[in-house]
Structure 1
Amino acid sequence: MLYRKRSLILMGIDSLIVFFSVGTSYLFRYEGNIPTESVLQMLVYALVTAAISNTTMVYFKMYQRLWRYASIGELVSLLRAVILGWVISYGLTSIFMDENVPLPVAVRTMETMLLIMGGIRFIWRMIVDSKNTATNKSRVLIIGAGDCGAIIAKEIKSNANAELYVVGFIDDDKKKLLQRILGIPVLGDRYAIEAIVRRHKINEIIIAIPSAGKTELTEIISICRVSGAKVKIIPALNDLIAGKVSVSAMRDIDLEDLLGRDPILPDLKGIADYVENKVVLVTGAGGSIGSELCRQITTFRPKTLMLLGHGENSIYTIEMELRRRFPDLKLETIIADIQDRSRIDDVFREHKPQVVFHAAAHKHVPLMERNPAEAVKNNVFGTKNVADAANRYEVERFVLISSDKAVNPSSIMGATKRIAEMYIQMLDQISHTKYVAVRFGNVLGSRGSVIPRFKEQIAAGGPVTVTHPEMVRYFMTIPEAVQLVIQAGAFAAGGEIFVLDMGQPVKIVELAEDIIRLSGFEPYTEIPIEFTGIRAGEKLYEELLLNEEAIAKTKHNRIFIGKPVGINQVELELQFKRLERAINGEKDDIRNVIEYIVPLFKDVS
């Protein structure tokens, strides 16, 4: 009913416009003195033109259009409707009336109709647009004056209820500088962002360059975050192609956007060759890395995917996810503790895995400093149990998830990971199984990592705690880390330690500042940062290679190999016996044995 009432009102207005247009055209034609014999002609012509024009306007759906969203398309449709109506009405009056309507009158009628009908509609749009300049709206700067930026600007402008007001565009194309898009000026290039934000009191910045690479995107974000404005981003070029770009598609900047490195592209064929149609076992399958391993391995169509973990809740969660997403995948879920040698042996004997990804480990540095026996039992002897079973049951490939903390370790956790590396390198010398380790830095967003902790502290109003102002770490995304792990299995010749080119290390205090800003606060003023001092076992910086590990390239430009280091089997087995006895004694006994096995271990606790 509301639509019908609105349409009738608009038709009435358009009819009045037709009568006005015809009347003024006759007045102009006869200089204000219309002959008596032409008055009847004028009235008939006006009635016919009004009726036909309303019909053509309905045909072109002009009364179904919301002119607050008007664009060139609406103007073209209006032009067609008016011209078609004019042609038909002039033709009908010429056929059925004794005397033709003067052509100058008909032409002026059409011109006046177009001018008034179009003008009224666009004046209405201007009134709506003017309402969008309300001072209580958030002032927005759009980076990218291309198709994507124009789509976002148009949506914001056309929505009277939007809480955003577009002040201008930023674009590096000098030809666009000072030009206007949808009436909005292009104010400058990326290097002028900070000054423009300050001058125009910008509250939010929208990055609308879906085709930008990681390096370019990181540079733009770095400039934006200094400005103090809140930053959002349009996700991907695929969204633009699929027509999904809208204000609702925007997301906040993630820390992943600040890595300044394009994502790793795996060698899919090489991976498929060793995973496809194989029985694959993932230990620690419920953890951050283990669960992502499971997700990515499924895409290579393993014969069976075995999910092994100690915590039933986490294994249940990843199992339900995989069964929902991959209903045809054959899954085996196994609750087992890798420290239980006989249970692990039973698993290998029953299921005969062909590829093993060993992700189960204790990884929290301060916790392991306080509980060194547990670190040894899980990271050393748990790894030994799984690796020995892989040897006994002739697994094709065994990939150990290691850490950059294993290099010149200063913590119990790092030292136990280095011992695990040494053990699989020793096994590789005597086994048909190809044993390799993958070493990488901190993973963004993994459970218990620094970023979730920072976010919790910010949500609580601060302070954000950082151990030391000079603390630096390498960072990577969980998908990147997992792609490296899977890729390493394809490159495995046996005994290697694979490392990733992770770009430049990141200062933890700068990371904290970024997270605070991306959360919409100002560091040190709105959210304080406190330095708590280096914790037991921590280093100011991490390394990726031991001095004796000569680095070599792989065919993947982001993955490198630390050459295998010779391990004395008899000596290592002897030290393992000492370590096994030590875990039942004092903490100092454990540390003494670890220092002997890993001479580069620097106990800073």
Structure 2
Amino acid sequence: MKLYKSIWRYVSLSEMNRILLATIVTAIFHGIGITVLCTRMPISYYLMGPLFQFMFTVSVRFAYRFINLVRRRKPRNENAKYNSLIIGAGSAGQIIIKELENSSVVQSVPKCVIDDDPNKWGRMLENIPIIGGREKIIEAVQKFDITQIIFTIPSASAKDKREILNICKETDCKLLTLPGVYQLLNEKVFLQHLKPVAVEDLLGREPIKADLGQIKQQIQGKVVLITGGGGSIGSFRALSPDCDL
């Protein structure tokens, strides 16, 4: 089962599955062999032998990995630049928390987690408390002295993302978000994937790009009144200062 070719510090569930299969195979051959060549043993012998074999083989490997994780774990940086609030108690959130806690260069400490799933409230994610849903964001910022909010739900709908980020905008925290769901599909979620929240994240759609050349031909030399100047259409003049109308 290639058990002796694995690297123990990276042992995982796939290793456990191979150990289980190896235990079943050896138990069958051993049981048949000892019954045919020697004598019939009590039922407890056929059951307890494979059980102890599986337990000891697994415990040795996972104990080695656990010791290595404890040795490599960096002490919590009390002088970190940011206290972070993580939005999303899913796979991406778990990976981001691990990176924040294990990285030796990131000046950020995760303090709490927000998730809209009531079943997760009051529980822990990587030893970080999940304190409630989106309605708790402003309260959490004040309670935990949060200075950075990280949105880690790449699969969230545009509506949910916009609503949550609009709540976050009411705080003075630095906002970061994952750009898309493809990291989860590829199982690649790292701190370098985080980016500042852009206007399209709040719009919930792609920003509209105006054809300034065509507009210039239609309104050149005319007095123009623009309504809705705060939107992505009305503000095109402010976004393109080089365009002389």
TM-score (norm 1): 0.31
Q: 2:95–2:190: 8 Å Cα contact kept in structure 1?
A: yes
Q: 2:9–2:64: 8 Å Cα contact kept in structure 1?
A: no
Mapped partners of 2:120, 2:26: distance in 1: 40
Q: 1:132–1:160: 8 Å Cα contact kept in structure 2?
A: no
Are 2:31 and 1:87 aligned? no
Sort the Cα spacing of 1:79 and 1:141 in 2 relative to 1 into closer, same or farther, 3 A.
Answer: farther
Q: 1:56–1:85: 8 Å Cα contact kept in structure 2?
A: no
Displacement after TM superposition at 1:251 (Å): 0.8
Sort the Cα spacing of 1:139 and 1:71 in 2 relative to 1 into closer, same or farther, 3 A.
Answer: farther
Mapped partners of 2:152, 2:225: distance in 1: 41
Q: Which runs of 5+ in 1 are unaligned?
A: 1-54, 266-287, 294-356, 362-377, 381-401, 410-439, 450-605
Partner in structure 1 of residue 64 of structure 2:
120
Mapped partners of 1:165, 1:257: distance in 2: 24
Mapped partners of 2:162, 2:156: distance in 1: 10
Q: 1:142–1:149: 8 Å Cα contact kept in structure 2?
A: yes
SS at match of 1:358: helix
Q: 2:177–2:197: 8 Å Cα contact kept in structure 1?
A: yes
Are 2:127 and 1:186 aligned? no
Q: 1:205–1:232: 8 Å Cα contact kept in structure 2?
A: yes
Partner in structure 1 of residue 220 of structure 2:
379
Mapped partners of 1:136, 1:94: distance in 2: 63
The 5 Å alignment of 1:231-246 reads 231-241=175-185, 243=187, 245-246=189-190
Identity of aligned residues (%): 25
Sort the Cα spacing of 1:175 and 1:86 in 2 relative to 1 into closer, same or farther, 3 A.
Answer: same
Sort the Cα spacing of 1:89 and 1:113 in 2 relative to 1 into closer, same or farther, 3 A.
Answer: farther
Q: Which runs of 5+ in 2 are unaligned?
A: 228-232
**Number of equivalences:** 229
The 5 Å alignment of 1:8-27 reads none
Amino acid in the other structure paired with 1:228: D
Are 2:33 and 1:177 aligned? no
Q: 1:198–1:227: 8 Å Cα contact kept in structure 2?
A: no
Amino acid in the other structure paired with 2:137: I
Amino acid in the other structure paired with 1:176: K
Amino acid in the other structure paired with 2:239: S
Mapped partners of 1:71, 1:108: distance in 2: 19
TM-score (norm 2): 0.67
Q: 2:178–2:193: 8 Å Cα contact kept in structure 1?
A: yes
Are 2:241 and 1:448 aligned? yes
CA deviation string 1:162-201 (max 9, x = no partner): 6244333211121221123444432211121122233334
Out of 185, 202, 214, the residue aligned to residue 146 of structure 2 is 202
Mapped partners of 2:97, 2:91: distance in 1: 10
Sort the Cα spacing of 1:62 and 1:262 in 2 relative to 1 into closer, same or farther, 3 A.
Answer: same
Amino acid in the other structure paired with 1:57: L
Displacement after TM superposition at 1:109 (Å): 4.4
CA deviation string 1:301-328 (max 9, x = no partner): xxxxxxxxxxxxxxxxxxxxxxxxxxxx
CA deviation string 1:241-287 (max 9, x = no partner): 455543222110123434x464579xxxxxxxxxxxxxxxxxxxxxx
CA deviation string 1:315-356 (max 9, x = no partner): xxxxxxxxxxxxxxxxxxxxxxxxxxxxxxxxxxxxxxxxxx
Sort the Cα spacing of 1:226 and 1:75 in 2 relative to 1 into closer, same or farther, 3 A.
Answer: farther
Partner in structure 1 of residue 194 of structure 2:
250
Out of 345, 354, 358, the residue aligned to residue 214 of structure 2 is 358
Q: 1:233–1:250: 8 Å Cα contact kept in structure 2?
A: yes
Sort the Cα spacing of 1:249 and 1:359 in 2 relative to 1 into closer, same or farther, 3 A.
Answer: same
Sort the Cα spacing of 1:62 and 1:79 in 2 relative to 1 into closer, same or farther, 3 A.
Answer: farther
Amino acid in the other structure paired with 2:123: Q
The 5 Å alignment of 1:201-220 reads 201-220=145-164
Q: 2:111–2:128: 8 Å Cα contact kept in structure 1?
A: yes
Partner in structure 2 of residue 304 of structure 1:
none
Sort the Cα spacing of 1:72 and 1:226 in 2 relative to 1 into closer, same or farther, 3 A.
Answer: farther
Q: 1:128–1:160: 8 Å Cα contact kept in structure 2?
A: no
Sort the Cα spacing of 1:128 and 1:84 in 2 relative to 1 into closer, same or farther, 3 A.
Answer: farther
Cα-Cα RMSD: 4.3
